[in-house]
Amino acid sequence: MTWHMYSVSPVKLEFSTTCLELRMRYADGNIARLGDKILVWEGNEGVVVCSMDTDEYSEDYSRETFGYLKQGIMVLSEKAGLIHYVQPEADMRLLSRRASRA
Do the Cβ atoms of 76 and 86 come closer than 8 Å? no
Q: Please state the rounded mean pLDDT for residues 76-96.
A: 95
Are 88 and 28 within 8 A, CB to CB?
no
Q: Predicted confidence band at 2 (pLDDT cuts at 50, 70, 90)?
A: low
Question: For residue 59, which amino acid is it?
Answer: E
Supply the DSSP string of 53-67, one letter for each residue: TTTEE-SSS-HHHHG
Assign 31 a pLDDT band (cuts: 50, 70, 90). Answer: very high
Q: Output the CA angle 86-38-26, nearest 5 degrees.
A: 50
Using DSSP's 3-state secondary structure scheme, residue 18 falls into coil
pLDDT at 61 over 70: yes
Spatial contact of 32 and 88, defined as CB atoms under 8 Å apart: yes
- What is the per-residue pLDDT for 9? 41
Please give the domain boundaries of the chain with CATH numbers for all domains: 24-96 (2.30.30)
Is 20 in a helix, a strand, or coil?
Answer: helix
Q: Quick one: pLDDT band at residue 98, thresholds 50, 70, 90?
A: confident
